[in-house]
Amino acid sequence: MGTAGNALRGAPGPALAAALAGESARFRALLARPDEIQAAHLRNLVHRNRNSQFGREHGFSSIQDATDFARQVPVRDYEAHAPWIARAGSGEGSVLTDEPVIAFEETGGSTSGPKLVPLTSSGLAEFQAGLKPWLDDLFMSNPALHCGSFYWAISPACRPGRNTSGGTPVGLGDDAAYFG
């Protein structure tokens, strides 16, 4: 386990609940217009990454919607992405994304061995954007959780710390980093 899911150890229920208050309602409001939200998110991702090597090779600058994206970016398995991921892991910048890779997450590898998945700051923020409404809903659904303290751990257990050949960490190394 990472060094400090401990950052939330002892976090009092009322303080944590207050910090998360409204996240569930915000998320539910977005559910009223999923097509609009997803289309805007895709446009934002494509625009932000149009100058990456992957974005240039796939014509991101001309993508306007999901239909364009589907036409220009073929569905691939992990092995087809592996060369791109290896380049990013070796420290090469702006390969899959214009944003720097802050870490790689390692999958469990249940079908064909462990795989590295790049993680950016905005990707981590998106993970947290999904985690926070769930935690808020947990507090709202279980009022007794407002009492006492908590210990939360989210990173894979028993993973030795290591870096890619380019020096990027595999895993965030601190459970608290996943929570923001």
Whether residue 8 has pLDDT greater than 80: no
* Type of residue found at 17: A
- Nearest C-alpha neighbor of 19 from the set 160, 176, 153, 136: 136
Q: What is the pTM of this model?
A: 0.83
Strands (E), 68-107: 101-106
pLDDT tens-digit readout, 167-177: 999 988 777 78
DSSP string, 32-70: T-HHHHHHHHHHHHHHHTTTSHHHHHTTGGG--SHHHHH
State residue 112's pLDDT score: 81
- Check residue 160 and report its DSSP letter: P
